Structure 1
Amino acid sequence: MPTYVVTGGAGFIGSNFVRLALECDAHLKIVTIDLLTYAGNLENLVGVPEERHAFVRADITDAGAMADAVPDGADALVNFAAETHVDRSILGPEAFVRTNVVGTQVLLDVARAKGVKRFLQVSTDEVYGSLGPDDAAFTESHPLAPSSPYAASKAGADLLVLAAHHTYGQHALLTRCSNNYGPYQFPEKLIPLMLSNALEDRPLPVYGDGRQVRDWIYTDDHSRAILAVLEGGRPGAVYNIGARSERFNIDVVKAILGELDKPESLVRLVEDRPGHDRRYAIDPTRIETELGWRPEVAFEDGLARTIQWYREHEDWWRRVKDGSYREFYDTWYGGR
């Protein structure tokens, strides 16, 4: 029975990957490791087949805990574990360096020591910086130019992964994906924040003029791309993952309001955040040509699915928005 270790598997993208991977391979076993910080939620994994899934609560920066949790000779370790929110990285970058940089190095070391066959680092298009309105989309050879503490910490982790392959011959793979959306996303990110606020008839805070451009991908398409890279990716290679689906943020917000039949008067343009990147766009030609991956979910269909999921899981997002999220929301948006 093949075994994958998935770190950060109780978060948004990680939990969706765990579900899809177990559905795609009836013989696969997954060990999920997650510290269950504010964005980690065991409810995200309810319903996965317990006979093929094990959960370990642990910190990826704890080398001893990782050595205990990672099985000898596992077929792959997929690292989703990360602090990911740009706004939080501006308020407190130290946690991002610790988890995203130090944690990645710990996992690389443990994976080598335990004989893990493949190591896949899940990264972000934000390591490339910002594009102008007429610039070509990011390719894998684009220089790294991170603009935020979050992006800088992910770029540092990326370089450690590539160095592990070059120095130790470790079978390491790296993916950089565009903006994800879908079920189980913590409501600090654009789509679930706008969606949940609109469902409560609360104001929708949109940065600046709202004309920042993001390249959107439904989370299951991202998961399928990761599986393709695990199965056929070249060791030491970087694979950009995107759906060629650029949208202005304000247009995404208006689309959500339209689907919910809510007024656009709920939109509040607020002071832009420091160093806000204007445009991201991913060129996924390499993964398309080398591995035959293509996105399956158009943005309009994926957004409709996401809205339906949040409507049907109001109890989930209301519980998530209590506590630590509420404190962060008031701190960040209160004076804007």
Structure 2
Amino acid sequence: MDNLTAVRTFLRVVETGSFARAADTLQLPRNTVTKLVQQLEAHLRIKLLNRTTRRVSPTSDGTAYYERMVRLVEEWDEVEDELARARSHPRGRLRVDMGTTVASLLLIPSLAAFHARYPDVQIDIGASDRPVDLVGERVDCVIRAGTVTDPSLIARQLGSLPQVVCASPAYLAAHGVPTHPSDLEDGHTLIRYVFAGSNRFQPLVLARGDETVEVKGRHFVSVNESGALLSAALAGLGVMHSPAFISGRHVDSGALIPLLDGWRGPDVPLHIIYPANRHLSARVRVFVDWMIELFRASPYTLPPGPPRA
């Protein structure tokens, strides 16, 4: 038995004073209304209604049950209405953490469109490349590149980030233009990215057809923040390997030159991540959906799907 449906049916019978009128207003067959009330009485093991050929009225137990349940059902309906309004008009504070370049190059330039659509959502952005403790730091979700292996987290892929190798015109004028990844091992300087919170360099692995080359190379400077990586490349300090969205605008302007045509590293998946045991609020849901729209429209990212090797 669907208890809530049975309770609603009983309430309507009391309010209309008739099984027939209750059936009409509920748009149910009369025998269904009668059966639901009988099942409710059997479940409660009490008689709720006095039935005569002329009218139906609640018993003393039925009256007490009606007075309690009508308030509970009204509260139930109010909660459902509030949740429905929250889904269509989300509001409240949303704490999001992401890399600095994702924030400054992808999210923030388009954030006015999100605000126009959801004016009652306040977004607090933490911009850094360091790992974040979602639960301990009370962050609603994080946006991070790479694979997600923690089973306590749910990751929804926003898109994939194609990688680009590039350098400034001034650097290339001084050191020449490499034509093969092995050229980067001799006579060139890399700008190495170090994963925040570790001493591990981001690997530089490039492939063309069946040939794959891992470049070690030497470096003059290493950084653990993607904005600093871009600044070092623009300053002519070496060859940069980064997601295309970081270098794209500067490649378009000529401030950076893409290198090693035909060679590419694996695309890096980008995810929005939140704890598996946390209820996903309406404001997080609409933010996730909007972020997917944003990435699908970006010329520097690929739509969600398995990363290309």
TM-score (norm 1): 0.25
Comparing both chains, which one has the higher relative contact order based on Cα–Cα distances under 8 Å and sequence gaps of 6 or more?
A: 2
Q: If each structure's strand is expressed as a fraction of its own residues, which one has the higher value?
A: 2
Larger radius of gyration: 2
